[in-house]
Structure 1
Amino acid sequence: MKRMCMAPVVVLVMLLTFVMAPLHANAAEEKVLNLFSWSEYFPQAALDMFEKETGIKVVYTTYESNEAMFAKLKMLEGKGYDIVVPSTYFVALMREQGLLSKIDRSKITNFGNLDAKVLGGPFDPTNDYSIPYMWGSTGMMVNSKHVDPATITSWKDLMRPEFKGKVLLSSDLRDTIGIALKALGYSVNSRSEAEIKAAYEFLKELKPSVLVFNVESTKQAFIGEEVVIGMSWNGDAVIAMQENPDLKFIYPKEGLPLWLDSLSIPVGAEHKDNAHKFIDFTLRPDIAKMIVEEFLYSTPNTAGWQLLPDELKNNNAVSPTDKDLTGSEFTNSVGDAKAIYEKYWEMLKTN
């Protein structure tokens, strides 16, 4: 009798198990990857290859700044996306706030293709939360039709009177204050208010020579000869030089700000296995080569670099030497000093 009374319960449990099991299986095996990244930052051909090889559909959503990405991920408590692409010190910020998941290195079989020089940055010393994707520099671009590149060796050359009204500076706070800090012999990651204030004074003195503060259209400004000297990301510089052969990219002797964009997995990612597969896919030499050829920034992937054509291997904007990078630093978190940077940046823009 007891057995007869329990039978409906057993049957119900079995039915529920039967109904729910496929749901769990589907959730675990869902062939989706939600990628949250900068616009035009992954070759479409590479995304197509990944989808074809794995059957995982990539849903690509974009942002225009680290700040926008961070704010959205924080609002969503690390949910909604499987891969994000933070730059240098934003990795540390997101890690400190519990927004990133630890990466399972055992699933990243191509990790050994990475150059040791870009590993172990101060923002993620053991690369537990970030895998390098692309890196580059903020250097100086000049138009050789208007100025002899051989005479430009320092950030202080921006001050030369003949460049008044013809200078472009970046609208990125850390990059622009960073080059001023470098010009004065300080670190791009200075936390000293006295040093940051000195950088502000340098930029304030330079401001009458500045035609525009811009980060989105630097290529067009140089190609169209609206400006003859100024700041440029190295990848933008290569594209601009292809359009206008008079343009030259220069590494100032004081050094310059370096950036590194990495692949990270948000803590609330729903498809972490797919995320690991995607990270490993981008570390393949053939894919790393494809990324460089598409966007012309520097690759952290030594195996991929070996596959590049000589014209890119020998282009120091794409493949800088150790000498080119003397004195250069990756931009890192400055902690509470961030408010000091923002204060002087606002003063620069309004005065």
Structure 2
Amino acid sequence: MKRLIFAILLCLLASSAFAKEVVYVYNWSEYIPEQVLSNFEKETGIKVIYTTYDSNEVMYSKVKVLGGKGYDVIFPSTYYVNRMQKEGLLTPLNKKLLPNIKNMEPSLMNKPYDEGNKYSVPYLWGSTSLAINSDFVDEKKANTYRILWDSKYKGKVILTDDLREVFHIALRILGYSGNETDPEKIKKAYELLRKLRPNVRVYNSDSPKVPFINGEVTLGLTFNGEMYAAAQENPAIKYIYPKEGAIFWVDSMCIPKGSKNVANAHKFINYIMKPEVAKLISEEVGYPSPNKAGVALLDKSVRTNATIYPPLSIIKQGEFQLDVGDAIKVYEKYWNLLKSGK
């Protein structure tokens, strides 16, 4: 009996010790294959506690309210990396714990928003641009964001639930940079977006492919990966790079300042940077990988698909999002007015 009790106690202690090996991951919705998470758990013995968000604003607000606590790995977009590190919400990465960083594409590293990648490592990159259902929208006329304002598409337009992206298209139409900081120019963009409101059916950054597939919307501003997936179900759904240029972004892996499992967070980030893991993520999710070694493993049909990997000429025509500093407060003011119908 004593031996049985002793064995049970040993099991309980082992189970308790194992349970402590966790990593809390907070990521965008539908942004990583389940297989990647389960394989990481099998390989490391670290349990992944996984939750999702549908916008940078939601993620940022939650992390800020918690003082950087509660999560171990987060995935902010380009300009939010800069903003969060300035506000002391991120902890510096220990490169010695990230040997797989050697696999990353140099052109996507050491950017102004995080020089030397002190706080971030790219996870995926991609674009936000115009998408249409060609059964209802003339592809020849969809070479400009202006088509979204056409009255024939009343209640048929989808926009991302992202203030910077939505304002970006209006700013570009007006001839300004999508990274504009002038309050007057941002106001002009808001006035233009007010005229678009009757056409907008939904703001969706969670799973925008669903309204397209269901026929709820026929055109809009959305992500390349989502439209790549949507086109697999309905080839009439097309992703287009209009003359004003696409929005380009990088989503990065960061460790919040209050992380309680920093070592496990580094193990998770390093695992994601394995070439075979990066390949699987890019194939399943439909976004381009910043992992040079991983891209080399991709099937040619994926590497040459312009929706996922646009040619350099398209990239040069567009803009990567940058931090706009205090001007974000101006954007937020007009965004709230826009969403409230004022």
Q: TM-score, normalised by structure 2?
A: 0.88
For 1:337, which of 303, 327, 341 is the aligned residue? 327
Q: Is the 8 A contact 2:55 2:162 kept in 1?
A: no
Cα distance in 1 between the residues matched to 2:317 and 2:272: 30
- Within 5 Å, give how 1:140-179 maps onto structure 2: 140-179=130-169
For residue 91 of structure 1, what is the aligned residue in structure 2? 81
Question: Which ranges in structure 2 are unaligned for 5 or more consecutive residues?
Answer: 1-15
Q: Is the 8 A contact 2:207 2:226 kept in 1?
A: no
Q: Confirm or deny that 1:232 pairs with 2:217.
A: no
How many percent of aligned residue pairs carry the same amino acid?
46
Instruction: Give the aligned residue type for 2:230.
Output: A
Post-superposition CA distance 1:41-61 (Å, at most 9, x none): 322211222222222222223
- Within 5 Å, give how 1:278-293 maps onto structure 2: 278-293=268-283
For 2:69, which of 73, 79, 84 is the aligned residue? 79
For 2:174, which of 156, 172, 184 is the aligned residue? 184
**CA RMSD in angstroms, aligned pairs only:** 2.4
For 2:109, which of 108, 119, 124 is the aligned residue? 119
2:178 is paired with a residue whose SS is coil
Once the two structures are TM-superposed, the CA of residue 164 in structure 1 deviates from its matched residue by 4.0
Instruction: Give the aligned residue type for 1:55.
Output: G
Question: Which ranges in structure 1 are unaligned for 5 or more consecutive residues?
Answer: 1-25
Cα distance in 1 between the residues matched to 2:234 and 2:166: 24
- Within 5 Å, give how 1:1-351 maps onto structure 2: 31-349=21-339, 350-351=341-342
Q: Is the 8 A contact 2:79 2:323 kept in 1?
A: yes
Q: Is the 8 A contact 1:288 1:304 kept in 2?
A: yes
Number of equivalenced pairs: 327
Instruction: Give the aligned residue type for 1:159.
Output: W
Instruction: Give the aligned residue type for 1:318.
Output: I
Q: Is the 8 A contact 2:122 2:251 kept in 1?
A: yes
Cα distance in 2 between the residues matched to 1:170 and 1:72: 20
Cα distance in 1 between the residues matched to 2:299 and 2:334: 44
Cα distance in 2 between the residues matched to 1:66 and 1:209: 24
Q: Is the 8 A contact 1:137 1:256 kept in 2?
A: yes
Once the two structures are TM-superposed, the CA of residue 226 in structure 1 deviates from its matched residue by 2.8
Once the two structures are TM-superposed, the CA of residue 245 in structure 1 deviates from its matched residue by 0.8
Q: Is the 8 A contact 1:253 1:326 kept in 2?
A: no
Q: Is the 8 A contact 1:170 1:232 kept in 2?
A: yes
2:196 is paired with a residue whose SS is helix
Q: Decide whether aligned partners of structure 1 residues 42 and 143 sit closer, same or farther in structure 2, where only a CA change above 3 A counts.
A: closer
Instruction: Give the aligned residue type for 2:274.
Output: R
Q: Decide whether aligned partners of structure 1 residues 244 and 211 sit closer, same or farther in structure 2, where only a CA change above 3 A counts.
A: same
1:124 is paired with a residue whose SS is helix
